[in-house]
Amino acid sequence: MPVFRYSSSLAAPASAVYAWHESPGALERLLPPWTSVRLVESRGGLQPGARVVLRLGPKPLQRRWVANIRECQPGFGFTDEQIEGPFKYWLHRHRFVERNEAECNLEDKIDYRLPYGPAGTIIAGAAVRSQLERTFRFRHRRTADDIRRHRAFANRPKLAFAVSGASGLIGTELVNFLRSGGHRVHTLVRRRPRDNSQEIFWDPTNETIDARALEGIDVVVHLAGANIAASHWTTERKRAIVASRVQGTGLLCRTLAESKKPPAALIAASAVGYYGNRGADRLDEESEHGAGFLSETCRAWEQATEPASKAGIRVVNLRIGVVLSARAGALARMLTPFRLGAGGILGDGRQFVPWIALDDLVGVVQFLAYNPELHGPVNAVAPTPVTNRVFTKALGRVLKRPTLLPLPAAAVRLAFGEMGDELLLSGCRALPDKLERTGFAFLHPEIEQALEIELGRGSSRLAEQQRNKRNTVDEH
């Protein structure tokens, strides 16, 4: 029977690593972003008999993977076994082995058997071993990074957050990250809140919000807004993009300003589109706004937070760059053409792409919550913006695909109109000056390393140097 092993050293005691695995949100944080695995149900925590249900694969080929916790040793480890799923047999042992008061080894051992006997092993054995290696390299890195970030604020009180846009790309990851760190997270929803949930009703279109439920929240994170790249920018679509940002922000900020127990901070999303198309100019948070639809939208979006600021609430306008995620957003849309060898430079390729890894973005939000000296505009971008040409070549190398099919500017404008001109052919060299001055540590500051990690490719020399890992696959 095949046996897969993976281990790594973590700078945290075994009890802390076990506690992280036990926390809400941790399991979701361990699902690799490049896979189509989604959590459907998690019931019972880390107790014998607890149940986890995953959904595998894209529609209509989805299937379930059901696992139960078979045994549990609090602080030391637990074992889960497959009840229903893709393997004929699966037994997974998680162990947290104390090295000293500040370090432990995280050890995973999986006994498994593929379906269809020897034929299944011949056909799929190598692919399964490769996927397990990619998955557990990611899981161990994610575990170490999340625990390190949470332990950086271990001596500070846990916070109560309220998050709008919690079902979106950024919001989903942020909520799971914060909950895995022991924070209480409420989500703003536009439907009737479920019983015994931490959901808060709001309806920006009809100017309705449950103000009482926001009383006593420590930090509000406002991420809601229509997807700017969902369709062509008709006059009606542009109006909807602006309204979804300005109307919702205004309602939320007026409500917080009138609260008897307002939050200490509001972290409100904006975007680097504020700066417009600025070529290679170095742009920090003090730089002037640019021209164009996106710039005007961002200005109105940020101005809508004024009621909260005037009421004495610390407001951060988070100017977010291109967020790297294999699940959704710009990178996810690039993957299919690049994998087919049809990826290429857009226009002349000299436009800058101010990007940020999704993992760093959720870390930025936590950092802002705990650093009261930060207010006003904050550029949420990696410290190394790259041109479209450099980004394209890096993605091609990570995917091991050629990037020989450029898309001329005229073709971009013909296909996408104004949206293509502002989103694809324009750029700005925005830099995270405020974050760097206040000591924020980026986990993924280089584009190729960030792409490798997000896509589960390569072994990232920098990351491997930082962690002493070993993994083996034995056949018994």
Is residue 468 assigned to a domain? no
Task: Give the pLDDT of residue 467.
Answer: 42
Final residue in a domain of this structure, among 117, 151, 185:
151
Q: Please indicate, yes or no, if residue 470 is contained in any of the structural domains.
A: no
Show the tokens assigned to 334.
């690039």
Query: What whole-number distance in Å separates Cα of residue 362 and Cα of residue 442?
Result: 11
Q: Kindly calculate the radius of gyration of the chain based on its CA atoms and give it in whole angstroms.
A: 23
Residues 6+ apart with CB under 8 A from 435: 364, 367, 378, 379, 380
Let me know if residue 471 belongs to a domain: no
Q: Is 334 helix (H, G, I), strand (E, B) or coil?
A: helix
Please report whether residue 465 resides in a domain. no
| Beta strands 352-353 and 386-387, pairing class | antiparallel
Angstrom distance (rounded) from CA 203 to CA 190: 5
DSSP reduced 3-state for 80:
strand
Predicted local distance difference test score (pLDDT) of residue 473:
41
Residue 426, domain CATH: 3.40.50.720
Final residue before a domain boundary, out of 88, 122, 151 = 151
Domain identity same for 127 and 241: no
Q: Is 474 within a domain? A: no
Q: Is residue 469 part of a domain?
A: no
Show the tokens assigned to 475: 């056949």
Burial string for 334-350 (b: 16+ CB within 10 Å, else e) reads eeeebeeeebbbbbeee
What does the pLDDT read at residue 464?
46
- Does residue 127 lie within any of the structural domains? yes
Q: For residues 196-209, b (16+ Cβ closer than 10 Å) or e, as one string?
A: eebbbebebeeeeb
pLDDT of residue 459: 56
One domain, residues 147 and 164: no
463 inside domain: no
Both 256 and 296 in a single domain?
Answer: yes
**Could you tell me the mean pLDDT of each successive run of 10 residues in the chain, 476 residues long?**
94 95 96 93 90 88 92 95 96 96 95 92 92 95 96 96 96 97 96 89 95 96 91 92 95 96 97 95 96 96 97 98 93 93 93 97 98 97 96 96 91 88 92 97 96 84 42 42
Whether 318 and 409 share a structural domain? yes
Same domain, yes or no, for 437 and 294?
Answer: yes
CA dist 283 → 203, 357, 439 (Å): 36, 19, 19
CATH of the domain at 119: 3.30.530.20
Query: Do 176 and 140 fall into the same domain?
Result: no
What local confidence, expressed as pLDDT, does residue 99 receive? 92
Which H or E element spans position 109? Answer: strand 103-113
Counting the structural domains of the chain, the total is 2
Domain membership of residue 146 as a residue range:
2-151
Whole-angstrom Cα distance, residue 37 to residue 59? 12
Q: How far apart are CA 320 and CA 51, in angstroms?
A: 37
Q: What is the pTM of this model?
A: 0.92
Same-domain status, 82 and 209: no
Backbone angles phi and psi of 62, in degrees to 5: -65, 150
